[in-house]
Amino acid sequence: MSDDEVPLGSKWVAMEARARHGLLARPPGRDQELAAEATRLNDAVRAAAHELGFDDQPGDFAALLVALREPEAPAP
């Protein structure tokens, strides 16, 4: 996956890690993995928000995130 396919981008993750957390170096490719994961989580929250209404119970949001999660990989 290229930076163009991930809205956050690995360069943004690296910049924020340095500026906000003082993290200077991580294994190659880790910033891209973090950007992809943050994008996936943001997409899940956005999808869940569209499923809920103003009068829903607070716990409904967490339950919906669990229902929309990606299926777990089969155990080896």
* 74 falls within a domain: no
Is 8 domain-assigned?
yes
CA separation for the pair 36, 4 (Å, rounded): 11
Residue 75 in domain:
no
Report the number of distinct structural domains present in the chain.
Answer: 1
Q: What is the pLDDT of residue 3?
A: 47
With cut-offs at 50, 70 and 90, classify the pLDDT of residue 6: low
| pLDDT at site 61 | 76
Domain with 22 in it: 3-68
Digit-coded pLDDT (tens) for 16-74: 889 998 988 888 999 999 999 888 888 888 887 787 777 778 788 778 778 877 666 55
Which pLDDT tens digit goes with each residue over 27-36? 899 999 999 9
Instruction: Answer yes or no: are the C-beta atoms of 37 and 7 closer than 8 Å.
Output: no
Residue 11 lies in a domain: yes
